[in-house]
Structure 1
Amino acid sequence: MKKMLVLALALVFMLSGAVMAQYSGTFDDHFDVDLSSEFTEGDYIGYEDLDGSGLVYFNEVDSDNPGIYTNLEQFNRSGYYDVNGTNDDNRQKVEITLPVEAYIPCFLEMRLTGNQGTTSAISYGPGAQGSTNASGYLMVFDNELGGYLDDEWQSLGYGSNVAINPGDDVFIGSCDIFAVEVISNDKYAYEVESDVLNGVAGANGETLPMYMRTDLGGGWLANDFVFNAPKTFHRERNAGVKLEALHNFKVPFGMNTVHGEYNGQVIFRAMTI
């Protein structure tokens, strides 16, 4: 019976092919269903393959011109009628998958604060990098400003002519404690880079190492970081995690520390990794 039904339906589609082209569906430019290549007179083999999709077929009966259609009123379709269910096994469904992509630019900011001056640097987006100098403030080691410190960073006194003897455990402190803040929406690294200070004038040819202690929010770290050669202090943070650091500096005041002026620089750096 199924084979008979297939042949009869094929005949209906063949005879009503001109009517199918007139269908006006939901879409303004609907599919133009052309079955001429599938059905030729006396040949319905292609119908078996096409019927597998079960999707775009339309038929219309013209009541003003009876007799041009094959009516199948006596067919019992109960054995072939599909009932749509409510689960994925037997419901009808079509879907279209659309790929989605999002691109979030990178943001990186660092702020340095010291002796009443602040410098901020912000990088927007990939490849944005550069360097700037702090303006209006600087790091100074002077017995009248930072004063004298001991091994434990405790003050020994300060002044122009304070009676502090040079020694292996005596230092001159920086004029200030410097604060650094860094934030990014990407994983990033924070660095402090420096070298020995180089003597000029009366100390020409001499070098002066620099000691740095750091507090990353949990108190001062146990060990000082010593710039007695080109060195870099390095820490890393994940995206969205703010880094807050305090840095204090000192230089030795020993009998072998030659009197005079010494110059150098400290670089505070933040970069995505």
Structure 2
Amino acid sequence: MTVIDFKAFIGRLATASGETILPFFRTSLSIENKSSSDFDPVTEADRAAEAVMRRLIKSSFPQHGIVGEEFGNEREDADYVWVLDPIDGTKSFIAGFPIWGTLIALLHKGTPVFGMMHQPYIGERFSGDNGSAHYSGPSGERRLQVRRCATLKEATAYTTSPLLMNVADRACFTRIEHVAKLTRYGGDCYSYCMLAAGHLDLVVETELKPYDIAGLIPIITGAGGIVTTWDGKPAQRGGRIIAAGDPRVHEAAMKLLNA
């Protein structure tokens, strides 16, 4: 079965998760903290959306594996594995800001071959298969393409928050801030999609989990960008991540981060 054959099913996953999440958005939610050391929220919407997607996957592809943020891993050594983050940007979600999305990735033998970010409140979908990437939303449909940016001095850079970084990594990121033309915070998955759409040039993050990044990799690479770990390795396992639209910016940022 090819990736093309899975695209309609991935659309079903996005629709089902969106229909599950939206009744919770901007309502009074019960919020739990998954972390004992800081604030890592989870809501009824996160769990309900992942449960819906898992049921659909198991009924349609029982031989496939699943890696999810809320309910753990099943058959993660299967040839095909789905990686799910029902709400990437839960902190924005609980604050009522629509800068969050559902991330869906399909891995084949460990490599992300298709990814989607769905924002049901705005009605936007960003998708990619490494060879191409596409946008669908209120403004229509179009192919995504990163923009060229010759130097880091001309770049717009994003990170969700430097406070999420440890002290050493934050110091490394400060070097980027001192050089880049503009640095902004926030965005979560939206930052990567805006990079793929050609609106910014660099995203730097740390301590990401596989479900935070796997669905975004085919979108970025499909739009002509590059995404790796800080030491240049494949990004699908998470960790310290750097994504750039132009390889020159990627190289310059890596040198500063590893100086």
What band does the TM-score fall into relative to the shorter chain?
Answer: under 0.3
- Rg larger in structure: 1
Greater per-residue helix proportion:
2
Task: Provide TM-score, normalisation by structure 1.
Answer: 0.19
Instruction: Report the TM-score, using the length of structure 2 for normalisation.
Output: 0.20
